[in-house]
Amino acid sequence: MNTKLISHFMSHRAVTLELLSIMRNDDPDFKPSESSMSTAKLAVHMATSMYKFTAVAKAGSPEPLMEKEDVSEPDPLKAVKLYTEKTVQLLESLTDDDLSREIDLTNVFGFKTTGASLVKMGIEHEVNHKGNLFVYARLLGHTELPLYVKKG
């Protein structure tokens, strides 16, 4: 089991879930600007992206990135919880070979990378968009917000 990797992922995902819980009674269609994703769309994008990055690491090919995710759960918090469980299960299943294997993502991102680097990239993607969620929460009037990472 990839305890350190899962712990690192969950140190950020736990805060994402907490932010979504804080904003649970707000309009899920809230957008800070016309060109922004809605709160719900951003949350689902974060959750499905990390899942897909992990699935690519497991598969050793970019195909999972091309698959459309069918997210039928309308509550963003519940949808992210569901994808968190699915992602943790995938992370648990990653072998040393999965993590060290080079994956050709030239047609998608313009480079080749290892499974481990791709999972790290997924976590960095989460961190980036979690910062967006903090802005959304503040614009919605929330002032009691968590630290950006949960340890322990």
Binding site for a divalent metal cation, by residue number, is: 45, 125, 129
User: What phi and psi, each to the nearest 5 degrees, are found at residue 144?
Assistant: -90, 90
Cα 152 versus chain centre, distance: 20
Beta bridge partners of 105: 111
DSSP string, 44-63: HHHHHHHHHHHHHHHHTSSH
Cα-Cα-Cα-Cα dihedral of 31, 52, 82, 138, to 10°?
-30
CA distances, 95 to each of 60, 63, 114, 142 (Å):
12, 19, 12, 41
Mark the binding-site residues, compressed into ranges: 45, 125, 129
